[in-house]
Amino acid sequence: NREVPFDGNGDISLAHIAIMMNSPAELKNRVLPDLCNNYNPHKWLCKRAVLTPKNETVARITYELINKIPTVIKKYKSVDSVLNENQAVHYPIEFLNSLEPPGIPPHKLFLKVGVSIMLLRNLDPPKLCNRTRLIVKT
């Protein structure tokens, strides 16, 4: 049974579980120091996470971080067409590509061999569990 720590003003102190950073660069350097040399072994990488209030911030920071890893980056794009051509007028491709529903990868997904990823939604549940950490192999 743990007690909630309070600071001198009576506010709950989060210093023991979270550290506030002044800039994204400071955050990246603090959480993932020397990433280009430490991304493998994967246990080191799996113990770290960058949390932000907005998905767009996470996407930007993640893209900057994977660019530091010395392997080739591959870009994957989602399918951006409709099955019924008569419905295409109602769903412009630009609109479909701009959507970012929770648990679904972005329209443009950048991956590198050796990078740790997390399975958000498994379409074949008996095989892997949601939120399983994986390593990109090829």
State how far the Cα of 32 lies from the Cα of 68, in Å rounded to an integer.
Answer: 11
3-state secondary structure of 38: helix
Q: Residue 1 pLDDT > 70, yes or no?
A: no
pLDDT for 2: 67
Q: Residue 51 pLDDT > 70, yes or no?
A: yes
State how far the Cα of 106 lies from the Cα of 21, in Å rounded to an integer.
Answer: 26
Mean pLDDT of all residues in 42-49: 77
Average pLDDT in the chain: 81
Longest dimension (CA), the chain: 65
pLDDT for 77: 92
State how far the Cα of 41 lies from the Cα of 114, in Å rounded to an integer.
Answer: 9
Q: Residue 103 pLDDT > 70, yes or no?
A: yes
pLDDT for 27: 83
pLDDT tens digit sequence for 116-126:
888 877 877 77
pLDDT for 106: 85
pLDDT tens digit sequence for 56-97:
888 888 888 888 888 888 898 988 777 788 877 787 888 888
Question: pTM score, two decimals?
Answer: 0.64
Q: Residue 129 pLDDT > 80, yes or no?
A: yes
Q: Quote the Cα angle for 121-38-18, to 5°.
A: 65
